[in-house]
Structure 1
Amino acid sequence: MGKTTTNSKKKAEKRRDYSRYKAWFWSVFAIGIMAILFLFLLAGWGVFGSMPTFEELENPETNLATEIISSDGETLGKYYNENRTPIKYEDLPQHLVEALVATEDERYYEHSGIDARSTLRAAVYLGKKGGASTITQQLAKLLFTENASKNPAARVLQKFKEWIIATRLERQYTKEEIITMYLNKYDFIYQAVGIRSAAKIYFDKEPKELRPEESAVLVGMLVNSAYYNPVRRPELVEQRRNVVLGQMAKNGYITQEEKDSLQQIPMKIDFTPQGHDEGIATYFRAYLQGFLKDWIEKNPKRDGSKYNIYRDGLKIYTSIDSRMQEYAEEAVKMHLANLQKEFDRQNKNNKTAPFRDVTLEERNKLVRDAMNRSERWRILKDMGKSNEEILKSFDQKTSMKIFTWDGVKDTIMTPKDSILYYKSFFQTGMMSMTPQTGEVKAWVGGINFKHFKYDHVKQGKRQVGSTFKPFVYATAIDQLHLSPCDTVPMSLYTIEAGKHGNQNDWTPKNSGGEYAGMVTLQEGLAKSVNTVTARLIDRVGPKPVIDLIEKLEIDSENIPEVPSIALGTADLSVFEMVSAYSAFVNEGVYVKPVIVTRIEDKNGTILYQHVPETKDVLSKEAAYVTVNLMEGVTRFGSGTRLRGSWAKGSELYERAVTGYPYEFENAIAGKTGTTQNQSDGWFMGMVPNLVTGVWVGAEDRAVHFPGIAYGQGATMALPIWGIYMKKVYADKQLDISKEEFPRPENLSIQIDCDNYGKNGSGEQDALPDELDF
């Protein structure tokens, strides 16, 4: 009996002990829950750092790139602090969304921002069996919290913030909106912020064009884009891609057979960087920045603040056609790469290379001037270095990356030698424009924007040579009603001092040295006979010619009112020349060039819409006859190489000129131009709905070919036009005209020189009159 009583007491004591442990456990558990809730409250109150307001959740602050869009709907480039262009959920491929959910958050559609099961698993196993962050939490971290701290306690507190923000985001947005925001915000490195930039940079595609295995690559990067870097660690990224495909199969988004098939596909990256110096139309994009800066100054937001092209997500719709721009850049590279080889070959024994017609002393001065203007000089001067120290630094060899036509090259040379190296390169300015609308279709300001920032389309002005002559001819035709068939002596012609503001007698010489006989005006322009142009400007005077170019929006401030302007002594830009020539094709109507057709804000609201600006500058008849004269240039003048394969097999063809044979058969009007010492080569080419101008020359006018064979505009510039137009005509979608130039009704000026002077019976009535000049 006593023993039984003792056992009962022991059992009662055990029950009391168990009850105490149970009470203790639930007390601790309750305290823990209350502590967690209290931490949530503290985090929500902002004790652990500021929390987003309702307004911030409604409109998360983002840096949105301004997108530059071509006339054919392609992205030419962007201006950005972060290269992010938002995309809508409906523009995401379904397999991309499925890959994201399968890999990052399997129960995404079941939770409200926090996945309790994953959180508990992460806590029990200390993260060794996977993390607990949902897609919503990852978005919260990207939008409103700092990067993860290395301090465990701080990281725990940050997690509380992420959880609270995640639940608020879930209440504020739909699941689809959260996925879209997350993919638009994530940084895929290489300036690829957001899924659209990533698809373009790694695959050169829009997101909707991605294949399932490509989507898997991008989703695989989400865990750590710097580590899973497709450019530097392709094998590792391919392994990660296959893990993503495995997750898609595990969650039923693809079959096992599809997974096996996709995992066998070799990973292929089409890496297309989108830096400010990369891509197409780089010179145009740089000029466009100036245009936008002026527009922003004059067009503030409603609240008075200014637009910011680096973060406001504007859409700039331009006139540039991405296909024509690519063809223009390809034509420049094809021709100038070969022309440069020939120039370098001819310079091998030139003691003052790359300069010509200078002494060694003059060469040294040119180099010294370049040093003084260099960034290196400025930086060292700011550091307090003396001139002697700076000069010495230019002779110290250093490793550098240099531009070559075969790509960027690592080398070792002195800064002084690099100056000489870069000065040896031929540059170009090229612009293409639709004359009827003023839309600029292609803009190539140089050979490589990263290494040569100077824009030779709008910024640069160079002597135009004989490409100025059509303005003289047009003035004479408009005033005197001349026919292309009228004849003029080729003999030497002097305009005496005092006449037309001349200070001295002016007697121009013909480049071929021929002065005997008569030529028609058509032949005079086609063969660029200087004495013919001199007679014309003497007859009409320099002022009407200047009046005409002013109407054509050419800056005449530095063009003197003297007869010698007739031969192209003025420095003009490619931009001015192309827009002015366009008026000839457009029946005498000048249309101001257009580069921006529309600007929209990030919501699609139109902020700017282009309104065409036009004015009459010439009669239809005078404009058409001038074009007809320039057709002679490509039929039997300096532009005849566009018509056939005359250069094939010649030394010129083999060494320097690319793109032959052109063999164009359609109507082409044009004019070549070559300046003194072959420093500048020009070609202006026109068809009924496209006018294109090309200039080629070096930075310094002392850098040029020694002879006219390679130094003339027909060799330096015309081939770029020919290659470009062959490519343009090959693209049937562009619809570039091969028709005749439109002829005005009731044309009173005779342009058919074969029948000029014949009566109705076809017999000779009278010979063409010699003009009384």
Structure 2
Amino acid sequence: MARTPKKTKKPAHSNRKFIVGFWTLFGIGILVSIFIFLLAGWGAFGKMPSFDELENPETNLATEIFSSDGETLGKYYSENRTPIKYDDLPEHLVQALVATEDERFYQHAGIDAKGTVRAAVYLGTRGGASTITQQLAKQLFTEDVAQNNVERVFQKVKEWVISTRLERQYTKEEIITMYFNKYDFIYQAVGIRSASKIYFDKEPRDLKIEESAVLVGMLKNSALYNPMRRPEMVKDRRNQVFEQMNRNGFLSEQEMDSLQKLPMKIEFTPEGHDEGMATYFRAYLQKFMRNWIEENPKPDGSEYSLFRDGLKIYTSLDSKMQEYAEDAVTKHISHIQKEFDRQNENNSTAPFRDIDKSEVESLVESAMQRSARWNKMEAQGKSEEEIRNSFTEDAEMRVFSWKGTIDTVMTPRDSILYYKSFLQAGMMSMVPQTGEVKAWVGGTNFKHFKYDHVKQGKRQVGSTFKPFVYATAIDQLKFSPCDTLPRARFTIEAGKHGNQKDWSPKNAGNDGYEGMISLKEALAKSVNTVTARLIDKTGPGPVIDLAKKLGVDVSNIPKVPSIALGTADLSLFEMVSAFSTFANQGVYVKPVLVNRIEDKNGTVLYQHVPETRDVLSKEAAYVTTTLLEGVTQSGSGIRLRGTWAKGRQDYERAVTGYPYDFKNPIAGKTGTTQNQSDGWFIGMVPNLATGVWVGAEDRAVHFPGIRYGQGATMALPIWGMYMKDVYKNEDLKVSKDAFERPKNLSIEVNCDNYGANQNTNDSVPDELDF
């Protein structure tokens, strides 16, 4: 039997070259990897953050506007981001994030080795490898999008390097907070706080678990998982989040099943600059802030950014009072607009009145030249003829209506006429004692009508100017509300008070010229001849001086007697602050809009200091207020009492909110200007003064008659509806008490004691006789 030859062992050195080669290549690979990471850290593949940048990552933070009761009124931003702290995040939101985006978040140091190997082996088909920290690194410091696979590899390396640095620099809780604060949830919802407010109208801490799951589901791709466009897809994604939470022990099987059956409810509340609460106020506040920023640089000399520095502006507005004011304006103007449109149906020059067609063309021409279309085409080098022709060509457009935005086709010229047909309103409410502005409504719809009718607009004030004449007479001559003057016609001759010709005012409506009338009744019924007699006694100069002390811009008010009837153009802002002085015992307080400004860290940058001055004696202010109370007792404001207009069903239907049935003392004054172009009402209770103006953009757009065109019909109902809501909310503590009577009052205000022959019945005031 042949013997099997023995196998000879290969010499050990025969495999050595393979072993050495393997470990050499492995070592080179390690060294190359280390070198690549070093190159990335040195910035060879693009800018890397410095230590300071890691400490304070640059983000665009929205400036937030707060009401006096702590509600967010709006924001100024380039990115709508308002950062919050980890303690403000509900536990289920954090659990949903970790379970869905990074299961081993608390075990790794920025890079998930297991996830990376899995992603490499299965080419990403079984989930990606990006940790929460890597995703944050990408958002913070790697802005450039990779164009190819090579760039993507280098970008990934950068993310890994930054992730490890972030993990060394921050706690896990801080990383989660930064991630939530940075992510863009679309619809201008940058960061979890904006997303919570925009999609669910609540703070993050108040989110329900099913709402948290929707937001975490959007983290995969917010454009794809868009709740407003793909609700079913978003719901499915939400349910996947619940499955991940169950898999990671945050939800039981039963809890998961129960939550997955819930409907998805979105309460979409956009926070665009044209949307939300107090839009007109926010537009004015932006101008205020620009001026403040110019005058108050940072410690290093640079300027604060209103849109990126995360300032906090604490305003005087009350969110509830602002809500009531906006509701009152919307309800009344939308209602009275129907009557306005009805009365224009047979008007050949609609929406204008009392002007010929050449004047109509002049108004349209002016509007065309001020329009954005004209300016844009002019900037493009278009000829005037081309621009004019474009205004007569049909175009698709979205226009405002009280039933919602309408998609239509019309010429730009017709759209100008369309928009001019709408009635507008301005409303402002403030506390006389502090000057705090509590409500500011500059118009009916900021998106479509940008013009602010509180401070920007100035219109003829009509009879609301008369209290300044009466107050001057009381202060100078110690008149009592019970003193009487003749109703008779009265003429101030040319040259007496600077007037160039004789001035003989007429009384309104059916008010006669016979007999005597008390000052209280004369103001209540707006008797023009009595006001003329008073300014003849005081002279126009002292009246203008008083108006100036009351905060009115008098630069364009001529020193002539006719100003007594309200020929001056003034803003609602000026009128409300002036009237407030009467309620504040003769002390003028400059209106307050901003109480405090803080930087993003809470450092106070601005603190309001009240500006006050004595204007009238307590006695003169109280007597003037008593006169104004007569307006709501027997004058043009009597409908606030709910005791007038019974039986006038057609009128009652025209006034939303009637009857108001107020029982408490109210001082106020209506105003109606020539041709019913402007309607005013300013009303006061001891701790709140509120003014309303109603009219159209052009004075030639107005009601044809006094029935609907007077201040008591156009403006007063807004005041009534607003105050009814204000009084229902007892937390606002708006007074129903009498105005404070000064001690040792020397002027008699009780006309029963005075013995004046005063008409105190509740008949329809002559000014309002239909």
> Does the pair score TM above 0.5?
yes
Deviation at 1:747, TM superposition (A): 1.1
AA paired with 1:256?
E
Name which of 36, 41, 45 aligns with 2:42.
45
Residue pair 2:652, 2:658 contacting (<8 A) in 1 also: no
Give the whole-Å Cα distance in 2 for the aligned partners of 1:502 and 1:204: 60
Aligned to 1:438: 435
Distance between the aligned counterparts of 1:460 and 1:190, measured in 2? 33
The corresponding residue for 1:769 is none
CA distance in 2 between counterparts of 1:25 and 1:657 reads 93
| Equivalences for residues 680-719 of structure 1 within 5 A | 680-719=678-717
1:316/1:600 contact within 8 Å kept? yes
Match of 1:272 among 269, 272, 277: 269
Range 511-520 or range 176-185, more displaced: 511-520
**How far is the alpha carbon of 1:148 from its aligned partner?**
4.0
Aligned letter for 2:215?
L
**Following the alignment from structure 1 to structure 2, what is the Cα–Cα distance between the partners of residues 258 and 645?**
60
Q: Which amino acid aligns with 1:8?
A: K
Q: Which residue of 2 is the match for residue 61 of structure 1?
A: 58
Instruction: For residues 577-631 of structure 1, give each alpha carbon's deviation from its aligned partner in whole angstroms, at most 9, with x where no partner exists.
Output: 0000000000000000000000000110001000111110001011001111111
SS in 2 for 1:362: helix
Partner of 1:221: 218
Say which of 72, 91, 96 aligns to 1:94: 91
Letter in 2 for 1:262: L
User: How far is 1:327 from its partner?
Assistant: 0.6
Aligned to 1:526: 524
Counterpart residue type for residue 439 of structure 1:
E
TM-superposed CA distance for 1:486, in Å, is 0.9
2:243 aligns with 246
Report the Cα distance in structure 2 between the residues aligned to 1:89 and 1:2, rounded to whole angstroms: 84
Contact 2:685 2:735 in 1 (8 A): yes
User: In the aligned structure 2, how far is the partner of 1:613 from the partner of 1:256?
Assistant: 64
1:168-317 to 2 correspondence within 5 Å? 168-317=165-314
Q: 1:166 — aligned with what? A: 163
Give the structure 1 partner of residue 570 of structure 2. 572
Shift of 1:147: 4.6
| 2:761 paired residue number | none
User: How far does residue 463 in structure 1 lie from its aligned partner after superposition?
Assistant: 0.2
Secondary structure of the structure 2 residue equivalent to 1:501: coil
Cα deviations by residue, 1:223-251 (Å, 9 ceiling, x for unpaired): 11110111111111111111111111111
Query: Does 345-354 or 649-658 show the bigger shift?
Result: 649-658
- 1:617-654 C-alpha deviation (Å, 9 max, x unpaired): 00101100111111110111000111106446635446
1:537 Cα deviation from its structure 2 partner: 0.5
Within a 5 Å distance, the mapping from 1:657-668 to structure 2 comes to: 657-668=655-666
Whole-angstrom CA distance in 1 between matches of 2:582 and 2:637: 18
| In structure 1, distance between residues paired with 2:630 and 2:377 | 56
Change in CA separation of 1:35 and 1:648 when aligned onto 2, cut-off 3 Å: farther
Q: Over residues 377-397 of structure 1, what are the superposed CA-to-partner deviations in whole Å (9 max), with x where a residue is unaligned?
A: 111122222222211111111
Q: Give, in whole Å, the separation in 2 of the partners of 1:504 and 1:473.
A: 24
Contact 2:74/2:276 (8 A) holds in 1: yes
Secondary structure of residue in 1 paired with 2:475: helix
Aligned partners of 2:384 and 2:95: how far apart in 1? 64
Q: 1:134-192 deviations in whole A, cap 9, x for unaligned?
A: 11111100000025424111111100000000000000011111111111111110111
What TM-score do you get using the length of structure 1 for normalisation?
A: 0.96
How high is the sequence identity, in percent, across the aligned residues? Answer: 72
Q: Is the 8 A contact 1:472 1:537 kept in 2?
A: yes
**Could you say if the C-alpha distance between residues 486 and 645 of structure 1 is closer, same or farther in structure 2, counting changes exceeding 3 Å?**
closer
Q: Are residues 1:123 and 2:116 paired? A: no
C-alpha change, 1:27 and 1:588, in structure 2 (3 Å) is same
1:82 matched to 2:79? The reply is yes
- The change in CA–CA distance for 1:30 and 1:542 in structure 2 (over 3 A counts) is same
Q: Using the alignment, how far apart are the partners of 2:385 and 2:41 within structure 1?
A: 64
**Residues in 2 aligned to 1:146 and 1:489: alpha-carbon distance in whole angstroms:** 81
The equivalences for 1:589-628 within 5 A come to 589-628=587-626
Out of 539, 548, 551, the residue aligned to residue 553 of structure 1 is 551
Query: In the alignment, is residue 345 of structure 1 matched against residue 342 of structure 2?
Result: yes
Q: Alpha-carbon deviation of 1:261? A: 1.5
Q: Distance in 2 between matches of 1:608 and 1:146?
A: 35
The one-letter amino acid of 1:665's match is K
SS in 1 for 2:753: coil
Q: Map Cα deviations across residues 293-325 of structure 1 (whole Å, 9 max, x no partner).
A: 111111111111111111111100000111111
**Aligned equivalents of 1:517, 1:185: Cα separation in 2:** 76
Question: Conserved in 1, the CA contact under 8 Å of 2:629 and 2:667?
Answer: yes
- The superposition leaves residues 507-553 of structure 1 with CA deviations (integer Å, 9 ceiling, x where unpaired) of 00000241112211000000010011001100111111011011112
Q: Residue in 1 aligned with 2:7? A: 8
C-alpha separation between the residues in 2 aligned to 1:519 and 1:512? 17
How much has 1:47 moved relative to structure 2? Answer: 1.1
Query: Is the alpha carbon distance of 1:3 and 1:585 closer, same or farther for their aligned partners in structure 2, counting shifts above 3 Å?
Result: farther
Match of 1:672 in 2: 670
Q: Which amino acid aligns with 2:629?
A: E
The 1:307–1:648 alpha-carbon spacing in structure 2 relative to 1, beyond 3 Å, is farther
Could you tell me how far apart the structure 2 residues matched to 1:290 and 1:704 are? 31
Query: Which has the larger displacement, 525-534 or 377-386?
Result: 377-386
* 1:572 counterpart letter in structure 2: L
1:562 aligned residue (560, 563, 566): 560
How far the C-alpha of 1:754 sits from its partner, in A, is 1.9
Q: CA offsets per residue over residues 309-357 of structure 1, 9 Å max, x none?
A: 1111110000011111111010000000011111001001101000000
| Gap change, CA 1:123 and 1:3, over 3 Å in 2 | farther
Rounded to whole Å, the distance in 1 between the matches of 2:155 and 2:679 is 65
Q: Secondary structure at the match of 1:291?
A: helix
Q: Which residue matches 1:721?
A: 719
109, 118, 127: which one pairs with 1:112? Answer: 109
Letter in 1 for 2:679: G
Whole-Å Cα distance in 2 between the matches of residues 130 and 191 of structure 1? 29
Query: 1:633 is aligned with what amino acid?
Result: V
Aligned match of 2:396 in 394, 399, 420?
Answer: 399
Q: Which amino acid aligns with 2:73?
A: L
Task: Report the Cα offset of residue 733 of structure 1.
Answer: 1.0
CA distance in structure 2 between the aligned counterparts of 1:574 and 1:383, rounded to whole angstroms: 39
Q: 2:142 matched to 1:145?
A: yes
User: What CA distance in whole angstroms lies between the structure 1 residues aligned with 2:628 and 2:2?
Assistant: 133
Moved more, 562-571 or 143-152: 143-152
Cα distance in 2 for residues equivalent to 1:618 and 1:309: 40
Q: Secondary structure at the match of 2:7?
A: helix
**Equivalent pair of 1:312/1:602 in contact (CA under 8 Å):** yes
RMSD over aligned CA atoms reads: 1.6
Partners of 2:355 and 2:367 in 1: how far apart? Answer: 16
C-alpha separation in 2, matches of 1:679 and 1:146: 56
Match of 1:382 in 2: 379
**Alpha-carbon separation, structure 2, partners of 1:233 and 1:187:** 17
Q: Is the 8 A contact 1:335 1:656 kept in 2?
A: no
- Map 1:450-599; keep pairs closer than 5 Å: 450-513=447-510, 514-599=512-597
Alpha-carbon shift at residue 408 of structure 1 (Å): 1.2
Q: Structure 2 matches for 1:744-755, cutoff 5 A?
A: 744-755=742-753
**5+ long unaligned stretches in structure 2:** 757-770
